[in-house]
Amino acid sequence: MNLVIFTFIFSYLMYNLQKHIASKLHLPRTVVIIVLYVVIIGLMGFIIFRYTPEIIEEVQIIYGEISKIEIPDSWSEYIEFLTKQINISKSYETFMNTVVITGKALLKGSLNLLISLILSMLFVLDIERVKKFLYKFKASKVSRIYNRLEYFGTNFINSFGKVIQAQFLIALVNSILSIIALWIMGFPQLIGLGFMIFVLSFIPVAGVIISLIPLSLIAFKIGGVTKLISVIIMIALLHSFESYVLNPKLISDKTSLPIFFIFAILILGKEFMGMWGLLLGIPLFIFILDILDVKIVEDSKKIKNVD
């Protein structure tokens, strides 16, 4: 599921971006596509190789600081009581299992991200041949099934595209506000951190948690516990602003759905499909409306009266 969704997101964004750039600058689309992917992969590689050593170093520093904490004598009895109640070996085993599972998930997610980038690049580069190949099914023995799937697929892609456009604007606003806040707090490498926040903003819920890890470690290094708390508060405020203001408003404008329905769909989507329900819930709802032939028309688009 992650691989399919990431591939679709990258393909949709890169196809529209290269089309816009190629038309404005009058450049060959192949050159534009290759340059765009080289830039994105280069930035992602820079962030990984630039910040991974810092994250490891910061974890070591935090561990060293925690080990230096002196426990008051008045707490010793309580700590001794808690130690007896807790199975240390079992807790350590559980903790290590959690670390291993999390590491495998991050590795698998990174691999899916890389494969999605490669697949989307191949798809965008060869999109005309893909269209010609699929069009051959229109005159085949399965033409009736193809026409039906084409209708549903086109409607779903259009509705999903509207949500992706809104999510792109949300990620852009989120990254700009984050850069401003980090600049005020004195963070280094603002461009790299801003790009990281922008990319992770496309991952519902989990993106916020992933971005919080390096930001927290850098905050602890440059300002200690006070700066760490400031970053956590900043992320919480921005996430609340994104979830309760930007997300419903922009998606409502793009899809012409009432904000109440946006909220309800987001809640139900998260409940039934997990974090991807926040991204897929709206397109699926619009897709169902298209099947039921329910037309959504904005109030501003009124039919002109004839005198």
Same domain, 170 and 285: yes
**pLDDT the model gives residue 307:** 39
pLDDT of residue 75: 61
Q: How many helices (H) and strands (E) does the chain have?
A: 11, 0
Count CB-CB contacts under 10 A for residue 285: 19
Based on the fold, state whether residues 201 and 114 are members of the same structural domain: no
Estimate the share of the chain in helix, then strand, then coil, as percent rounded to the nearest 5.
Answer: 85, 0, 15
Question: Within this chain, do residues 179 and 228 fall inside the same structural domain, yes or no?
Answer: yes
Average pLDDT over residues 99-107: 70
Angle at 92 between CA 89 and CA 94, to 5 degrees: 110
* Residues spanned by the domain of 241: 142-296
Same domain, 154 and 83: no
Q: What is the pLDDT of residue 302?
A: 40
pLDDT of 265 reads: 82
For residue 123, pLDDT beyond 70 = yes
107 and 195 belong to one structural domain: no
Q: For the chain, how many structural domains are there in total?
A: 2
Residue 271 resides in a domain: yes
Same structural domain for residues 288 and 220? yes
Last residue of a domain, which of 97, 125, 153?
125
Q: Do 242 and 284 sit in the same domain of this protein?
A: yes
Last residue of a domain, one of 125, 157, 175: 125
Residues 165 and 101 in one domain: no
